[in-house]
């Protein structure tokens, strides 16, 4: 089927919730994807930070196809191969910077997406507060953040433009400015009894890769605990090695109580996780939360293969080295006014007069998949196997495109 035919069908039979790039991508391998005409593209978006091992990594493809031939779904009423191992691996990654004698297991709930992982985090924080905190129910989040598109995760997403058409949103959310320690302390001083959690992205991704400062995150952890609230880190985009650490919070000298995870965890098989420290997870009782599909046989097979391979292939070092190289190279471009990021979660702002969505479109014709998060911002979330050679190819083409 031609691109025009595909596009006509989608126009007629799909809801218009997003504007698509004019290309139909049909296969991929590593850093490359190919359209229906056989044209090759170098992928600096990685399925929006999902394809951590690159496209169709043999270990993941094999795990999914072997599992699909064995048992696809059986439900959460039963034990499932690999599920305990995946939860254990994630717990070890969350504990990576905790001294061994202070480590205790993190306990996870398996969901199907980032928004669902956050829904679980929100419910758990409220449940925890009823049992062990002040009984407050308000979730404090940061202006400009992004936590998903379900009603509660949208209420947590402090971006009026995304929220206003869907009022009334669920109650129990309040917002405070990014990196403003004073405002944060004041919010807790005035409403501490009502707040059960502060939920943050350590690095705001959808907003254009804006990191929190270490001081701000450390203040958030301290005031949350002083007021018997929990700290939730939304690591949906920044987690699973993306930022050159297993999780981004490990860059900032904090340890959250609850962490939401999705995107890179299963290489594109839909999966989300909400992990909590044992004493916090203890607030949930059977029946408090659930999911038909979450943590299904196929999902955990994909996650198990992904996490095993990520640990084996020197991905962490690669994300650090290639990420630094990418930021250095971007900073040399005359049309770039600012570069931000950690590991392979990076962005650059373009000078006034250059329209980022137009750059993305032009890049497509030059065989590059790029992404704009705003009128002047390009974001880079390539597979974590991205090499300095791939960055060199990007840098050969980008100046002309700009």
Choose one: 27-35, 145-153, 294-302, 308-316; the region binding ligand PLP (CB under 6 A).
145-153
Under rule CB under 6 A, residue 201 binds ligand PLP: yes
Q: Does 82 engage in binding with ligand PLP (CB under 6 A)?
A: no
Window of 27-35, 144-152, 167-175, 383-391 that interacts with ligand PLP by CB under 6 A: 144-152
Stretch that binds ligand PLP, among 33-41, 108-116, 190-198, 315-323 (CB under 6 A): 108-116
Question: Nearer to ligand PLP by C-beta: 235 or 349?
Answer: 235
Burial per residue of 148-159, b for 16 or more beta-carbon CB atoms within 10 angstroms, e otherwise: bebebbbbbbbb
Counting contacts by CB under 6 A, is residue 390 touching ligand PLP?
no
Give which of 154, 137, 125 is closest to 274, Cα–Cα: 125
Nearer to ligand PLP, 44 or 336 (CB): 44
Count Cβ atoms below 10 Å from residue 167 Cβ, excluding itself. 7
Q: Interface with ligand PLP by CB under 6 A: which range of 74-82, 199-207, 320-328, 359-367?
A: 199-207
End-to-end alpha-carbon separation of the chain, Å? 33
SS3 284: coil
Asked if 207 interacts with ligand PLP (CB under 6 A), we say: no
Q: Is 373 helix (H, G, I), strand (E, B) or coil?
A: strand
Total number of residues shown for the chain: 402
Asked if residue 304 lies in contact with residue 63, where contact means CB atoms within 8 angstroms, the answer is yes
Q: Please report whether residue 148 would count as binding ligand PLP according to CB under 6 A.
A: yes
Burial of 402 (C-beta count, 10 Å sphere; 0-12/13-18/19+):
middle
Taking CB positions, which residue lies at the least distance from ligand PLP? 114
Q: Which is nearer to ligand PLP, 147 or 340 (CB)?
A: 147
Taking the C-alpha atoms of residue 29 and residue 48, their distance in angstroms, rounded to an integer, is 16
Out of 95, 107, 237, 371, the only residue in the binding site for ligand PLP (CB under 6 A) is: 237
Q: Is 234 in the site for ligand PLP (CB under 6 A)?
A: yes
Closest separation in Å from C-beta 199 to ligand PLP = 10
Q: Which span (181-189, 200-208, 276-284, 317-325) binds ligand PLP, by CB under 6 A?
A: 200-208
DSSP secondary structure string for all residues of 93-130: HHTTTS-GGG---EEEEEESSHHHHHHHHHHHHHHHHH
What residue has token string 């995946």? 86
Q: What does the binding site for ligand PLP look like in residue numbers (CB under 6 A)?
A: 113-115, 118, 146-148, 201, 205-206, 234, 236-237, 262
């Amino acid at each position: 089927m031609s691109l025009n035919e595909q596009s006509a069908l989608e126009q007629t039979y799909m809801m218009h919730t997003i504007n698509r790039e004019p290309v139909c991508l049909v296969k991929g391998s590593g850093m490359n994807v190919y359209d229906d005409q056989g044209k090759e593209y170098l992928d600096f978006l990685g399925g929006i930070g999902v394809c951590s091992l690159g496209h169709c990594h043999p270990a993941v493809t094999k795990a999914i196809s072997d599992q699909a031939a064995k048992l696809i779904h059986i439900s959460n009423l039963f034990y499932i191969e690999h599920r305990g191992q995946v939860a254990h691996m994630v717990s070890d990654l969350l504990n990576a910077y905790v001294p061994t004698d202070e480590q205790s297991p993190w306990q996870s709930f398996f969901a199907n997406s980032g928004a669902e992982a956050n829904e679980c985090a929100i419910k758990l924080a409220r449940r925890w507060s009823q049992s062990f905190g002040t009984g407050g129910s308000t979730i404090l989040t940061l202006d400009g953040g992004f936590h998903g598109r379900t009603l509660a995760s949208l209420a947590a997403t402090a971006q009026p433009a995304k929220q206003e058409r869907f009022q009334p949103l669920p109650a129990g959310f309040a917002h405070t400015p990014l990196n403003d320690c004073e405002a944060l302390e004041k919010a807790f001083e005035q409403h501490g009894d009502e707040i059960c959690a502060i939920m943050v992205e350590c690095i705001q991704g959808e907003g254009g890769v804006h990191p929190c400062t270490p001081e701000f995150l450390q203040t958030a952890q301290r005031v949350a605990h002083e007021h018997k609230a929990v700290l939730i880190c939304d690591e949906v985009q920044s987690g699973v090695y993306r930022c050159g650490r297993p999780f981004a919070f490990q860059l900032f000298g904090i340890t959250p109580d609850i962490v939401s995870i999705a995107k890179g965890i299963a290489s594109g098989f839909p999966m989300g996780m909400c992990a909590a420290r044992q004493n916090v997870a203890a607030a949930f009782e059977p029946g408090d939360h659930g999911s038909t599909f979450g943590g299904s046989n196929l999902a955990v097979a994909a996650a198990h293969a992904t996490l095993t391979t990520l640990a084996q292939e020197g991905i962490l070092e690669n994300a650090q080295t290639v990420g630094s190289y990418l930021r250095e190279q971007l900073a040399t471009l005359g049309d770039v006014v600012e570069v931000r990021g950690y590991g392979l979660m990076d962005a650059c702002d373009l000078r006034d007069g250059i329209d980022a969505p137009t750059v993305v479109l032009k890049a497509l014709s030059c065989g590059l998949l790029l992404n704009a998060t705003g009128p002047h911002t390009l974001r880079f979330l390539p597979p974590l196997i991205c090499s300095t050679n791939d960055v060199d190819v990007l840098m050969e083409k980008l100046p002309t495109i700009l």
